[in-house]
Amino acid sequence: MNSHNHGDSASTEEHRHEAQHIGPVPSAVIVITDSRNERTDRSGQTASRLIKDGGHNVIHQALIRNEAIEIRAALETAIELGSKFIFCTGGTGLGDRDITVDTVTPMLDKVLDGYGEWFRRASWEQIGPASILSRAIAGKLKQALVVCSPGSTAAVELALNGLLIPELPHLVREVSR
């Protein structure tokens, strides 16, 4: 049994085993913010480092404003460049300018509800009831996994280290089918 195995079914273990042969996943990091720039952005830098440390390739990075046209264009560019994992950070709150989730959700071919549920449950352990403010989502866009995470470095670390990097080959295998 794997260390992350929590009573997984035989088919889940078989899928994980098959996914081990995927190799480094071509990834994109998109920071969506009105308040940071390349110099002051820590969340995007953290995400890129964690993805690389996890053995994957960051083939595209972007820092864009909370504008629907920019968000859609950044996702389309990441797909065109061959990204199989697109990690978006920022713009997931309840403010009027927080439009990442509202822009990305209609683009998704399928929503992975379990990711948002897991993220809020895991966040609860760190920040308590404030975790309900998270609108973290994930889903399939064409043949890529898209994840939208809150913009704090703690949220980026939780998402990537807590679930996404350990499970990334399996997740990418599933969205590529």
Q: Tell me the three state secondary structure of residue 144.
A: strand
> Could you tell me if residue 122 is inside a domain?
yes
> Could you tell me if residue 6 is inside a domain?
no
> Could you tell me if residue 4 is inside a domain?
no
Q: Is the pLDDT of residue 5 over 80?
A: no
More confident: 10 or 123: 123
Q: Give the list of residues 6+ apart from residue 13 with CB closer than 8 angstroms, or none.
A: 2, 5
> Could you tell me if residue 143 is inside a domain?
yes
Q: Tell me the three state secondary structure of residue 58.
A: strand
**Tell me: the pLDDT tens digits for 44-63?**
999 999 999 999 999 999 99
* Residue-range definition of the domain harbouring residue 163: 25-175
The count of structural domains within the chain is 1
| Contact (Cβ atoms closer than 8 angstroms) between residue 122 and residue 162 | yes
CA-based nearest residue to 66, from 102, 108, 110, 111: 102
- Please state, in angstroms and rounded to a whole number, the distance separating the CA atoms of residues 150 and 41: 13
**Neighbouring C-beta atoms of residue 35, cutoff 10 Å:** 11
Residue 155 in tokens: 């949220």
0.85 exceeded by pTM: yes
> Could you tell me if residue 1 is inside a domain?
no
CATH number at 133 reads 3.40.980.10
> Could you tell me if residue 76 is inside a domain?
yes
Ranges 5-9, 107-111, 154-158: which has the least confidence: 5-9
**Tell me: the pLDDT tens digits for 115-146?**
999 999 999 999 999 999 999 999 999 999 99
Instruction: Work out whether the CA dihedral 97, 103, 104, 105 comes out positive or negative.
Output: positive
